[in-house]
């Protein structure tokens, strides 16, 4: 709505963040203290890269993604739109996080998480929120 009425959405980068000069950053994105974004990564629109989060080389971070405090995504990871990587969560290299996925705090993603939902456990697996007693669903790709 802001864009429709003429506002420009600036990119805001902390002076204490490290962002490689070869990184593409979309409008409205905020990169906070001690965050690091490495070479050849692409960051979408209105993304939040929180304090001490790390985006390694050749990553693609979609629009409206939030990498929480201390989250780490390894090289060549793709995080699709509207997803959240929780506090201290880690995604190993070459993995893909689908649209509308939530990776719970402190979790480790070793497989692609392509189905919309919340992922928990180590390794991270999708939760069955329709049946809380059932718990974690084993997911096949």
Catalytic residue, chosen from 26, 40, 51, 57, is 57
Report the length, in residues, of the chain. 141
Residue 109's H or E segment, with its range, is strand 108-109
C-alpha span between 107 and 119 (Å, rounded): 8
Q: Which residues, other chains included, contact 114 with Cβ-Cβ below 8 Å and sequence gap of 6+?
A: 96, 98, 141
Task: Take residue 134 and report the two structure tokens written for it.
Answer: 């059932």
66 is catalytic: no
SS3 7: coil
According to DSSP, the β-strands at 125-126 and 117-120 are antiparallel
C-alpha span between 1 and 107 (Å, rounded): 34
Active site residues: 57
């Amino acid at each position: 709505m802001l864009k429709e009425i003429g506002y420009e959405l600036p990119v805001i980068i902390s002076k204490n963040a490290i962002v490689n000069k070869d990184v593409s950053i979309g409008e409205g994105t905020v990169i906070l203290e001690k965050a690091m974004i490495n070479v050849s990564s692409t960051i979408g629109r209105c993304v939040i890269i929180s304090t001490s989060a790390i985006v390694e080389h050749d990553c693609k971070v979609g629009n409206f993604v939030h990498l929480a405090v201390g989250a780490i995504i390894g090289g060549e990871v793709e995080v699709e739109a509207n997803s959240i990587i929780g506090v201290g969560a880690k995604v190993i290299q070459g993995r893909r996080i689908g649209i509308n996925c939530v990776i719970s705090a402190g979790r480790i993603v070793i497989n692609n998480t392509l189905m919309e939902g919340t992922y928990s456990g180590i390794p991270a697996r999708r939760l069955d929120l329709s049946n809380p007693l059932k718990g974690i669903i084993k997911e096949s790709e």
